[in-house]
Amino acid sequence: MKFVIVTIVVLLTHSYVLIAQCTEQLVLSGEENIVRYGMDTTKNWWAVTEPFSQRYRLTVSGKPTQVFSQITPPVFSPDGEKWAAFAFENGRYFLLRKDTAEMLNCTEVQQIIFSSDSRIMGIALRQETEDVIRFGEREIRVLNRVGQVYISPGGERVAYMIDRAGQKALFIDSREIVQMDEIRPLGFWNDGEFVYAARSGKQWNVFKNKKELTGMISEVGEAAVNQAGSTAAALVRLFNGRWQLMLFSDEYYEPIKGREYEKVSGLILHPHHALAAFKAVLNANPVIVQNTTEYSGGTITGPPQYSSDGKDIFFVGEDTESFVNMNGRRYSLKNQLSANGSYAFAPGRRTIAYSSNSTLIVQDFEKGTMRAGFMTDELIAPRHNRLLKKYETLGRINQRLYLLSCPD
């Protein structure tokens, strides 16, 4: 079988040299029908299976729960050490965690969220007409809550919105911060204040609690706050119709304002520093922008991506050939890759991983070598497991589930 795999991949990739070293592990034996499966960004995998008709079980990293009539995919803490999911059985909702199944007194379950330091978990529920938010040892009850709940980096505060006669009101804990025609929550700052975009009439602004960060603008596109609550960025449309990056950080007294572009998309934030990257179009030419630095794209340019430690920035492009751009340096690929595919990158390495129609493939774009994993019927997008320094994905053959791994 391994000889067949090698032959197929060599024929598909022509001049690339195939190297072995990839492994596979059977994680579900196929005794139960697989309904859904996936991975988090750290080390965990999960699957929802159907052992009996319309009865479901959740397995997280090899540990199964009991069977329920409904069950949701798990939500993981940022460090990967905790998870939680909702389940339903005999008219009752349950909160599932690693070793417990807690019965919930509610008529609807809404959201599970972890603080960015992974210590505090929050849940949002509805009890008849009342909305309930529980985080840590605290509980807040409100009416007409809409949208998502946000927890501060250390889990001390919670932010949410309520609908008030067609307008939106933003609250931190039980204190109203602002009421506007439209509010888009972004996330907590590290001082406990909250960053959001808001519209009054036809004009938008980005605020930190009540402080204006941008001044009046025509529209707020993609926007985000990093996990540490130390950097925020927004792609904003000016009144001249062009788009611009605005980046906010404790390191700078004034926001960083980028060049103006015709189109923008794919905003990402550096995990630690005051850096943001996105895809833009300037004079009909695609570019990748990091703050005010531009990297030339291809005829088709994929979105940028930071490595998990933030030391490298990558994107894939296509013109006369496929290429990877790493930190501004272009590496040509000898095979065709879609610029907008899902790829995993290892920090400090010259490798890229992706799922083909049937297996996990890792290319060293500097050495011109390739590794391929076990052949399966279908796969999900890969991740880089920074703890084990491996690329990983899940693949299914009938009802058997495999964890595929290749060294980075």
Predicted confidence (pLDDT) per residue in 111-158, tens digit? 999 999 999 999 999 999 999 999 988 999 999 999 999 999 999 999
Kindly give the parts of the chain with pLDDT less than 70.
1-20
Which residues, 6+ apart, have CB-to-CB distance to 99 below 8 Å? none
pLDDT at 19: 53
pLDDT at 324: 95
Q: Among candidates 377, 335, 391, 395, which has minimal Cα distance to 14? A: 335
pLDDT at 26: 97
pLDDT at 139: 95
User: CA distances (Å), 5 to each of 22, 356, 361, 371, in order?
Assistant: 12, 13, 12, 11
Q: Give per-residue pLDDT as tens, 153-175.
A: 999 999 999 999 889 999 999 99
pLDDT at 11: 37
